[in-house]
Amino acid sequence: MNALIEARGVSRQFVVGQRLFAAKPVIRAVIDVDLTVLSGEVLGIVGESGSGKSTLGKMLLGLIAPDRGTIRMAGEDLTAIERRTLARLIQPVFQDPYSSLNPRKRVAAIVALPLAVLGIGSAKERRARATAMLERVGLPARDAEVYPSELSGGQRQRVAIARALIVGPKIVLLDEPTSALDVSVQSQILNLLLDLRNDLGLTYVFISHNLAVVEHVATRVAVMYLGRIVEAADREAIFLNPRHPYTRALLDSVLTPEPGLGVPDTGLGLAFPNPLDPPAGCAFHPRCPEAGPRCRIEVPRVLREAGLVACHLYDGGTSAA
Ligand code: SF4
């Protein structure tokens, strides 16, 4: 399988707020991330709110630029790819189908809009393609005539998926695509996404705070914590043999009664740290049940010898200083 996305050393920080006579507060949203997405795979990116996963997703979409590092898409530097070409390489589906669809447009016009922007086909052809794509995502042709407000949340997300697929992208970046939906509707949308991937040969980057959802769809999983990828491995390895203590805590959270709702309770006692004032050393150390003195002062290296894990336990076998 060839690499469709290759991110190397990607970082992005944001200045937040204003302070007179003092350094402005900075959030390091993404820190030195390496990531490869192979053609045909479903890469799940998981982490709590504030882990940097959505910022990473926006950089992969070209919506925001990294401060450092490079992103290559289908072998080309992302910054050199013309926007129309990029639109045919990668398309997004976001969490909230209520706000991502124009309420004043009928569904057919919403789905056909990317074709119009790219200058593809006549108005009649675009409409026919939009109707066919709506049927492909499980909506009847008559829904082409309605407004988004006349549809349920699940139906609106099907419209958003149809809009993403209409230009035939290679990659779809799905950012919490089912988080706003009822649990019963979530599984319908996930199964639809899997069918579409198989039928159309798509590659997915699937961003979620919910490991149970990621387990359902991903072929490989990257776990983020405070801007860094702390573990990445094939799905089986992550779920059967998680190595990073944070991955293990996230997996425990899947066993909570309603894993589809909100940020998981990791059972770690302490809340997610303030990204404006991250802990020194391993950023996970205040919550880590296995933290030792070394963890408080030294950022763990990313170890690639057997998959990817960033934890002192695997770098000399001890978290002791
Ligand atoms: Fe825990 Fe230390 Fe590993 Fe960080 S480096 S996850 S604190 S054991």
Distance of CA 245 from the midpoint of ligand 1 (Å): 7
Given a cut of 90, is residue 273 above it in pLDDT? no
Nearest atom in ligand 1 to the alpha carbon of residue 290 is 8
Nearest atom in ligand 1 to the alpha carbon of residue 285 is 7
Distance of CA 38 from the midpoint of ligand 1 (Å): 29
Q: What digits encode the pLDDT tens for the residues 299-311? A: 999 988 657 999 9
The reported pLDDT for the residue numbered 23 is 76
β-pair type (42-46, 203-208): parallel
∠ CA 273-182-269, rounded to 5°? 25
Within a domain: 265 = yes
Contact 90, 60 (CB under 8 A): yes
Contact 282, 298 (CB under 8 A): yes
Among 311, 314, 318, say which to mutate for ligand 1: greatest number of ligand atoms within 8 Å of CB: 311
Q: What digits encode the pLDDT tens for the residues 115-156? A: 999 999 999 999 999 999 999 999 999 999 999 999 999 999
Contact 7, 177 (CB under 8 A): no
Distance of CA 246 from the midpoint of ligand 1 (Å): 8
Lining ligand 1 with CB less than 6 A are: 244-245, 282, 284-285, 288, 290-291, 295, 300, 311-313, 319
Percent of the chain with pLDDT over 90: 76
Within a domain: 230 = yes
Q: What is the 3-state secondary structure (H, E, C) of 110-132?
A: HHHHHHHHCCCCCHHHHHHHHHH
The reported pLDDT for the residue numbered 21 is 72
Q: What digits encode the pLDDT tens for the residues 48-74? A: 888 999 999 999 999 999 999 999 999
Within a domain: 124 = yes
Distance of CA 291 from the midpoint of ligand 1 (Å): 5
The reported pLDDT for the residue numbered 169 is 97
Return the CATH number at 55. Answer: 3.40.50.300
Within a domain: 321 = no
Nearest atom in ligand 1 to the alpha carbon of residue 295 is 2
Nearest atom in ligand 1 to the alpha carbon of residue 246 is 6
Q: How confident is the model at residue 97 (pLDDT cuts 50, 70, 90)?
A: confident
Nearest CA to ligand 1 atom 7: 285
Q: Tokens standing for 210?
A: 């919910």
Within a domain: 58 = yes
163-177, 220-234, 258-272: least confidently modelled range: 258-272
For 211, residues 6+ apart whose C-beta sits below 8 A from its C-beta are 46, 221, 239, 250, 251, 253, 254, 259, 264
Among the ranges 178-182, 271-275, 292-296, which has the highest mean pLDDT value?
A: 292-296
Given a cut of 70, is residue 96 above it in pLDDT? yes
Among the ranges 15-29, 159-173, 304-318, which has the highest mean pLDDT value?
A: 159-173
Within a domain: 16 = yes
Sign of CA pseudo-dihedral 314, 319, 320, 321: positive
Distance of CA 176 from the midpoint of ligand 1 (Å): 27
The reported pLDDT for the residue numbered 258 is 46
Q: Tokens standing for 174?
A: 């799905």
For 187, residues 6+ apart whose C-beta sits below 8 A from its C-beta are 216
Given a cut of 80, is residue 280 above it in pLDDT? yes
Distance of CA 266 from the midpoint of ligand 1 (Å): 15
Nearest CA to ligand 1 atom 5: 311
Backbone phi, then psi, for 129, in 5-degree steps?
Answer: -65, -40
Burial zone of 214 (CB within 10 Å; 0-12 exposed, 13-18 middle, 19+ buried): buried
Range of the domain at 57: 3-314
Within a domain: 320 = no
Mean pLDDT of 239-257: 82
Within a domain: 275 = yes
Q: How many CB atoms lie within 10 A of CB 187?
A: 15
Among 285, 299, 308, say which to mutate for ligand 1: greatest number of ligand atoms within 8 Å of CB: 285
Number of domains in the chain: 1
How many whole angstroms separate alpha carbon 242 and alpha carbon 133? 39
The reported pLDDT for the residue numbered 270 is 61
